[in-house]
Amino acid sequence: MAAASASSGFIQSTPQLRNQFTSDPSLQRIFTNRLPKEVSEDVLSDLHDFGQYVVSDEIFDYVQDAESNPPTVETYDAFGNRVNRLRTSYGWKKEKDLAASHGIIAAAYERKYGQDSRVYQFLKYYLYAPSSALFTCPLAMTDGCARVLEIYGVRRDVFDHLTSRDPSNFWTSGQWMTERSGGSDVSGTETYATKLPGTENKYEVSGFKWFSSATDSQVALLLAREHEKGKLSCFLGDIKSGGANIVRLKNKLGTKPLPTAELELRNLKAELIGDRERGVAVISAVLNITRIHNSVNAAAFLRRSLEIVKEFSLVRKVFGQPLHTVASHVHTLADLEVRQNALMQITFRCVALLGKSECGSASADELFLMRCLPSLVKAYTGKRALAGVSECMEAMGGVGYLENEPALNIARLERDAQVLTIWEGTTNVLCDDFVSVVHAKAQHSVSAFRRFLEKTLQNSDRSLSEQILGSFEVWAKYIQGSTLASLRSRGRAVGFYFADIVSAALLSEDAAFDNDPRAVEIARRYAARLSGSDPLAKFSENSASDYNTAAVFHNDYL
């Protein structure tokens, strides 16, 4: 027997990622069941090709370059002059170019597919997210800014840059809300705006912003007040004209390629957007969009981690057995599949609501859902995805914990997934918003949610539908019988249980489209969470394990 050496003996064959459009059953269900046929036919080849591109050597070279060369800043030159030299990596810049040329933002505003343009845009963005080196972060804020300019019908010139497909013309936008006194509570804002004499809405803004992630942007939407006792207004800052000085870059756990900085604003040129002293309400259009982006990233990070782990289990053997045949391992992966499918369904319902609200085709109930869901779903998907990505890391054993080559690096995905629970509103702050909005008109909220669930479940399996509606009635009774203070103290439990109900209903609706056995089983398992019953109880050991295998290794995997 020859002893192993550094280059001989057992060497694990390397898992290979396949086309992320065709390999992902959760994406396929949205693509097939949630897009009109004429739209899905029209976008098929684009998404298919992009699904291959996002696992290409080319894009992972950009990711690797961006991860290995985090941004740097020079704040003084050799002679002591104040300068503002932010340097980002080659890979980061290439990610920006490809985001523009692939129309990741433009697709939403060209509205080629009307209200379904958002679903198409976010399917593409979802494929892109885990290969984007977190360029999805500036894209989210850019999308939010474009929407605000569109709503208020101002600065068409800036809007055109933000929605351009031409990399040399494409701008991004920052979003500056957080200050040292608080990010959840922005009432302590110490940034002041002074109106320029003789102008309608032109200002100069000075203050200190504690977190700025899209620091290489050309513009930013920001909050400032006109005088000490005044409320916050929203402004569009012109970063190119100077006046936003980088104090230092943040030293972060993850999101390494992203230039997150502290900024001192000194007479930054800015323009008032929307009504004076309505800044939070104006910027909430950005919040709702960036929160949906956050949810799509969460679903995408968990999906990519699962794809890596599935491929690993096909090449790895343990105790003489292929890992993909080890029942307990496959059961763990099946649980993750179920969870990821749920995140996908609830996230893309928010996407669809956004599309309808923008195109004026949303009903009153849908507009109310659009007020409630994006914040809650951001909190829910962020938390659930982070736990799932961590589980995937373990499913690769010791190698999962390593900084693998970029295509297979779950460590990077986990670091980046952690921030999804913090920025754009922490979990408890978002759940607090949800219960406060629901409680403000409790009777109306419960009726609107009931109508929504009944409609969603109208073609579903009867016992599944009764189970989900029964859970909702328990929840509704609790809401109606509780004080605001008590709901706020349990905001996360109240919000997440509602998100579980909505996810189960959407999975049931999805299963009812074609009664696909895998989709039916996933819906059944998710609904079983609501009553805490064991979804496998009625199965023998063998049939449960067959279901697990089918859930994970669908179609032609094995």
Residues that bind ligand FAD (CB under 6 A): 174-178, 182-185, 211-213, 252, 255, 260, 419, 422-423, 425-426, 428-429, 432
Q: What is the DSSP letter of 3?
A: P
Is 433 a binding residue for ligand UCC by CB under 6 A? The answer is yes
Q: Which of 339, 370, 365 is nearest to 352 (CA)?
A: 370
Torsion of Cα atoms, 449 then 454 then 456 then 460, to 10°: 150
Given ligand UCC, ligand FAD, none, residue 332, with its beta carbon under 5 to 8 Å by kind, binds none
> Minimum CB separation from ligand FAD for residue 436, in Å?
9
> Minimum CB separation from ligand UCC for residue 287, in Å?
5
Among 33, 64, 115, 136, binds ligand UCC (CB under 6 A): 136
CB atoms within 10 A of CB 483: 9
Among 213, 313, 465, 467, binds ligand UCC (CB under 6 A): 213
- How distant, in Å, are the alpha carbons of 294, 441, 448, 491 from that of 437? 21, 7, 13, 12
Given ligand UCC, ligand FAD, none, residue 508, with its beta carbon under 5 to 8 Å by kind, binds none
Q: Which is nearer to ligand FAD, 404 or 418 (CB)?
A: 418
Amino acid identity of 313? S
- How distant, in Å, are the alpha carbons of 26, 79, 221 from that of 296? 12, 46, 22
Is 308 a binding residue for ligand UCC by CB under 6 A? The answer is no
Name which of residues 168 to 207 contact ligand UCC (CB under 6 A).
175, 177-178, 183-184, 186-187
CB atoms within 10 A of CB 145: 32
Q: Which is nearer to ligand UCC, 317 or 490 (CB)?
A: 490
Q: Which is nearer to ligand UCC, 290 or 548 (CB)?
A: 290
Is 114 a binding residue for ligand UCC by CB under 6 A? The answer is no
Q: Using CA atoms, how far apart are residues 403 and 414, in angstroms rounded to an integer? A: 11
Reading phi first (left if > 0) and then psi (alpha if -120 to 50, else beta), residue 541 is in: alpha
Q: Which is nearer to ligand FAD, 112 or 278 (CB)?
A: 278
Q: Which is nearer to ligand UCC, 47 or 413 (CB)?
A: 413
> Minimum CB separation from ligand FAD for residue 26, in Å?
27
Name which of residues 269 to 288 contact ligand UCC (CB under 6 A).
280-281, 284, 287-288
Is 371 a binding residue for ligand UCC by CB under 6 A? The answer is yes
> Minimum CB separation from ligand FAD for residue 288, in Å?
15
Amino acid identity of 536? L
Is 141 a binding residue for ligand UCC by CB under 6 A? The answer is yes
- Using the contact rule CB under 6 A, the part of the chain among 97-105, 130-138, 337-345, 379-387 near ligand UCC is 130-138
Sequence-distant (≥ 6) Cβ neighbours of residue 539 within 8 angstroms? 547
Q: What is the DSSP letter of 81?
A: -
Angle formed by the axes of helices 136-152 and 117-128, nearest 10°: 160
Q: Which is nearer to ligand UCC, 64 or 178 (CB)?
A: 178
CB atoms within 10 A of CB 97: 15
Considering just the CA atoms, what is the radius of gyration of the chain in Å?
A: 24
* Cα angle: 298, vertex 92, 106; to 5 degrees: 65
> Minimum CB separation from ligand FAD for residue 255, in Å?
5
Angle formed by the axes of helices 442-456 and 462-480, nearest 10°: 170
CB atoms within 10 A of CB 480: 12
> Minimum CB separation from ligand FAD for residue 492, in Å?
9
> Minimum CB separation from ligand UCC for residue 293, in Å?
4
> Minimum CB separation from ligand UCC for residue 375, in Å?
5
Determine contact, residues 507/522, Cβ cutoff 8 Å: yes
Given ligand FAD, ligand UCC, none, residue 280, with its beta carbon under 5 to 8 Å by kind, binds ligand UCC
CB atoms within 10 A of CB 254: 17
> Minimum CB separation from ligand FAD for residue 462, in Å?
40
* Cα angle: 197, vertex 203, 204; to 5 degrees: 110
> Minimum CB separation from ligand FAD for residue 209, in Å?
7
Q: Cβ-closest residue to ligand FAD? A: 183
Q: Which residue shows structure tokens 């996933």?
A: 522
Q: Which is nearer to ligand UCC, 32 or 418 (CB)?
A: 418
Among 423, 452, 475, 526, binds ligand UCC (CB under 6 A): 423
Is 367 a binding residue for ligand UCC by CB under 6 A? The answer is no
Determine contact, residues 522/365, Cβ cutoff 8 Å: no
> Minimum CB separation from ligand FAD for residue 311, in Å?
30
Q: Which of 510, 520, 512, 550 is nearest to 29 (CA)?
A: 510
Q: Which residue shows structure tokens 């939070």?
A: 280
Given ligand FAD, ligand UCC, none, residue 288, with its beta carbon under 5 to 8 Å by kind, binds ligand UCC
Given ligand UCC, ligand FAD, none, residue 179, with its beta carbon under 5 to 8 Å by kind, binds none
> Minimum CB separation from ligand FAD for residue 178, in Å?
3
Is 428 a binding residue for ligand UCC by CB under 6 A? The answer is no
Q: What is the DSSP letter of 179?
A: B
Q: Is 347 strand, coil or helix? A: helix
Beta-bridged to residue 270, according to DSSP, are 203, 237
Given ligand UCC, ligand FAD, none, residue 186, with its beta carbon under 5 to 8 Å by kind, binds ligand UCC
Question: 537 is written with which tokens?
Answer: 């109880």
Query: Which residues contribute to the site for ligand UCC (CB under 6 A)?
Result: 134, 136-137, 140-141, 175, 177-178, 183-184, 186-187, 213, 280-281, 284, 287-288, 290, 293-294, 297, 371, 375, 423-425, 429, 433
